């Protein structure tokens, strides 16, 4: 009886692992799925065949992790994915021999180049502790500058971004937004912001500058963290 029960459990596991009811959430991969499932979605190692074909790691129904994606037109991407999008290191080879392979790094399904790092601080004043970069999306080409002290937003004034590709759009006491006509972009940020704390706990406004470059297009948020004497 125990042997029969064990065999039945193995059969049920096998059926669940190769069930057509295991959802793949990329329309071009909808068709046949063979692999691991979790809560009704492809999760773990698997292979999905539809208009396109993908074999590799899945997470919650999406290609996620390392895998090989073969497009209907014969192009093949082998590399890393994040929630169904090419993200990280990978290589795209094309069906046409006339088109060279694209080797390097990908962000939000777009080729970002051969360098992993798409932003770099060239120089900064001693009033700055660090400069943080965050790509919000690829929907707009702009940079929003923000300022912080011990991780909390602080007021700024006289914010200027010296860059031929940048045009000031809007600003408040806490941020300044610049539209970017073309990437890569390289410029020098000049400002005054709340920085070093005085003995009574108040924050003096101090001057600062940071020269940096961003090589990949998008809607970026650049946060300048001020130094603190505490």
Q: Residue 14 has what pLDDT?
A: 45
Q: What percent of the chain has pLDDT over 90?
A: 79
CA dist 222 and 143 (Å) reads 7
156 has pLDDT over 90 = yes
Kindly report the backbone phi and psi dihedral angles of residue 5, in degrees, each rounded to the nearest multiple of 5, phi listed first.
Answer: -65, -40
Q: What is the dihedral of CA 43, 46, 50, 52, to 10 degrees?
A: 100
**Least confidently predicted of 58-62, 112-116, 162-166, 185-189:** 112-116
162 has pLDDT over 50 = yes
Q: Which long-range contacts (CB under 8 A, 24 or more apart) does 89-95 make?
A: 89/116
User: Rounded mean pLDDT of the chain?
Assistant: 89
For residue 184, count CB atoms less than 10 angstroms from its CB and return exposed for 0-12, middle for 13-18, buried for 19 or more: middle
- At 11-63, the pLDDT tens digits run 444 444 444 589 999 999 999 999 999 999 999 999 999 999 999 999 999 99
207 has pLDDT over 60 = yes
196 has pLDDT over 70 = no
Q: Residue 199 has what pLDDT?
A: 47
| Cα distances (angstroms) measured from residue 119 to each of 105, 116, 135 | 13, 9, 10
Mean pLDDT of all residues in 122-139 = 94
Mean pLDDT of all residues in 69-79 = 98
- Cα three-residue angle 138-27-216, rounded to 5 degrees: 15
The three-class DSSP label of residue 214 is strand
The pair of three-digit structure tokens given for residue 8, joined into one six-digit string: 């039945």
**Residue 6: pLDDT band by 50, 70, 90 thresholds?**
very low
Q: Residue 21 has what pLDDT?
A: 83
């Amino acid at each position: 009886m125990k042997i029969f029960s064990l065999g039945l459990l193995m059969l049920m596991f096998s059926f669940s692992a190769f069930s057509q009811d295991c959802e793949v959430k990329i329309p071009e991969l909808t068709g046949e799925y063979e692999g691991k499932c979790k809560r009704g979605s492809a999760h773990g190692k698997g292979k999905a065949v539809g208009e396109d074909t993908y074999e590799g790691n899945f997470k919650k129904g999406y290609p996620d992790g390392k895998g090989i994606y073969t497009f209907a037109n014969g192009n093949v991407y082998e590399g890393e994915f994040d929630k169904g999008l090419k993200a990280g290191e990978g290589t795209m080879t094309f069906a046409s021999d006339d088109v060279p392979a694209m080797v390097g790094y990908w962000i939000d399904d777009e080729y970002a180049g051969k360098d992993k790092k798409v932003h770099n601080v060239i120089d900064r004043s001693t009033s700055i502790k660090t400069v943080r970069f965050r790509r919000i999306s690829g929907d707009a080409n702009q940079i929003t500058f923000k300022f912080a002290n011990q991780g909390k937003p602080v007021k700024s004034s006289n914010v200027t971004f010296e860059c031929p590709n940048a045009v000031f759009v809007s600003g408040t006491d806490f941020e300044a937004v610049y539209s970017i006509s073309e990437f890569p972009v390289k410029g020098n940020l000049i400002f005054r912001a709340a920085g070093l704390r005085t003995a009574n706990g108040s924050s003096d406004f101090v001057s600062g500058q940071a020269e940096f470059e961003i090589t990949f297009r998008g809607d970026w948020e650049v946060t300048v963290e001020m130094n603190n004497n505490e």
